[in-house]
Amino acid sequence: MSRRFLNRQLLTGVLSLITAAYFALLPQINSLPVAYGLAAIGGVGLGNQVAIAVTWIIEMWSGRVLAAALQALQLAYGLGTIVGPLIVRPHLFGYMNATEVAEVMSVQEYSQKVAQRRASLTGPFIISACFVGTGKDKNGKKSFHLP
């Protein structure tokens, strides 16, 4: 149905930009409800990108090659879920519970620690946003074209 009414390349471009904005803005959020709303919007962008990628693979390939192409897509997704946290791990400091904060830190120290954590996470999230937002193919050309 969307083939008749929506330009799939334009839709992929818009969803890539939504996902890139999600990754770029996530470490800057101070409010939990806003973070949940942003995560919902980012989830819509990511979920639709996966559906579009599977649809394109099914349309481009057939027979035994189709199974291998779909498996390669899932392999890349699986590698990303394993390697991504390993890349971000040096930037994570653990969870500060309320008891630790009350016993150890003043309000000013706590604010400085939160700012330090946010600044440390901003770089990896911006890098992720750049990867999602560029959408380059193997020849270095954009895989989607905005009119």
pLDDT tens by residue, the chain, 147 residues: 455 667 777 888 888 888 888 888 888 888 889 989 988 988 888 888 888 888 888 888 888 889 888 999 889 888 888 887 887 777 666 666 666 666 666 777 777 877 877 787 777 777 777 776 565 544 455 544 433
- Look at residue 138 in the predicted model and tell me its pLDDT: 44
Boundaries of every domain in the chain: 2-92+122-134
* Burial of 129: CB neighbours in 10 Å, binned 0-12, 13-18, 19+: buried
Bridge partners of 142, per DSSP, are 136
pTM beyond 0.75: no
